Structure formats: C-alpha cells, structure tokens
C-alpha cells in the first residue's frame, strides 16, 4: 500500500475512526441508494477497521515499550548484540558480526545485503553523524539497505537525513517488537 492512500492513512489511525467513517458513509449512501449498495460502500472501511484493530491489539503498549527499552539500555554490549543478532536470524537473515566502526552486523537474505549499526543504542538522542557514517559504509560495501538501531530518539535532522537516504531507523515500538520475538523464544539471551 502506498503511504498516502486513504486506506493506508486509516490503518495508522485508531480502528474506531474507520468504523465511524463506515457508519457515516452507510447512512449517506442509504439516503440515495438501496440498503445493499450502502452496505457495499461501507464494507471496505469495516475491513480496514478490522485490520487496524487487529494490528493495534498486537502492538506493545507504551508501558511495555518503555520497560523493554529500559531493560535493553541496561544490557552490556555483548548481550545487546546477541539479542539483535538473534532477532534478525529469526526474521530469516544470516548474520555476520563486523568489527568496523560504522557497521556492527551484516545481514544477508535473498541475495540482498543489509548493514546494521547498533553500537550506540544507549544514546538518548542520535544525530546525523552516525547515520552519515552508516550511509558511507553502505556505499563502500555495496549494501542494498542500512538499518540503524537505537533505544533512544532521533533528532529532526537525523530523521530527515534517514528519509532522504532511505536508512531504516529501528527504535521504540519496532525495537520492542523485534526483541519480543527473541524473548518469546529462547530466554538465554536476555537476563530478565
């Protein structure tokens, strides 16, 4: 789905907004057309409401995200890199650790190479500098994708740079989801 279609926008909103739109559309169409036509006009919005509700139900709560990020910040580097490596393995990547300043992991899947930088995961706010280093490493290694992992936030300039250079920023909810997959599996990686 494109990012700016009506349905993609509604999937990012609370599920009940789609229900309200469906009800309003049903009532408006029912004034001019038969009931079955009004039902079919509202049906796509009800489907979006179901999908949005399902994804929002599965999303970790703010409390869970905050708790998970706090636990991740408390981990030493060796444990944190093991957790991130295992999470990417469970997503189907083959993972190689790289001893390079800008790159910590190299991921391979379906003949695509992705590089990951996660060594500065404890920083409260990441600026453009580390993202620029990662982008240069991507160009030097001929990687197709680069991912920056941080338990903190990103500055506005860093977010703009990442959007311009298509750097995937993995933080907050996405990071908590990634780690939750490891936590549900083998508990040997996580000390809690």
User: Which residues, including other chains, have CB under 8 Å from residue 159's CB and lie 6 or more apart?
Assistant: 169
Q: Return the closest-CA partner of residue 151 out of 179, 122, 191, 116.
A: 122
Q: Return the closest-CA partner of residue 113 out of 83, 80, 137.
A: 137
Measured CA to CA, the distance from residue 27 to residue 39 in angstroms comes to 9
pLDDT tens, position by position, 38-84: 888 999 999 999 998 888 787 767 777 778 778 888 888 888 888 88
| Joined tokens for residue 22 | 């469906």
Average of pLDDT values for 179-191? 62
| Joined tokens for residue 139 | 């160009």
Pairing of strands 145-149, 125-126: unpaired
Residue 158 pairs in a beta bridge with: none
State the fold for domain 76-184: Trna Endonuclease; Chain: A, domain 1 (3.40.1350)
Domain limits, the chain: 6-58, 76-184
Entry field: residues in the chain: 192
Q: pLDDT grade, residue 192 (50/70/90)?
A: very low
The answer to whether 86 and 118 have CB atoms below 8 angstroms apart is: no
Q: Vertex 88, ends 9 and 142: CA angle to 5°?
A: 85
| Joined tokens for residue 89 | 């393995």
| Joined tokens for residue 9 | 């926008």
Helix (H, G, I), strand (E, B) or coil at 166: coil
pLDDT tens, position by position, 103-136: 888 999 998 999 999 888 888 888 999 999 999 9
């Amino acid at each position: 789905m494109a990012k700016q279609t009506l349905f993609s926008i509604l999937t990012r909103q609370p599920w009940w907004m789609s229900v309200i739109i469906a009800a309003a559309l049903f009532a408006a169409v029912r004034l001019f057309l038969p009931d079955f036509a009004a039902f079919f006009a509202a049906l796509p919005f009800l489907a979006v409401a179901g999908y949005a509700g399902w994804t929002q139900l599965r999303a970790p709560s703010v409390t869970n995200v905050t708790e998970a990020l706090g636990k991740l910040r408390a981990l030493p580097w060796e444990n944190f890199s093991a957790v991130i490596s295992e999470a990417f393995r469970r997503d189907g990547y083959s993972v190689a650790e790289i001893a390079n300043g800008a790159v910590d992991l190299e991921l391979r899947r379906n003949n695509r190479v992705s590089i990951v930088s996660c060594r500065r995961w404890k920083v409260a706010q990441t600026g453009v500098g580390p993202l620029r280093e990662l982008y240069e490493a991507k160009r030097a290694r001929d990687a197709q994708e680069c991912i920056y992992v941080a338990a903190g936030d990103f500055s506005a300039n860093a977010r703009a740079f990442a959007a311009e250079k298509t750097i995937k920023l993995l933080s907050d909810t996405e990071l908590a989801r990634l780690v939750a997959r490891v936590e549900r599996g083998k508990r040997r990686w996580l000390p809690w």
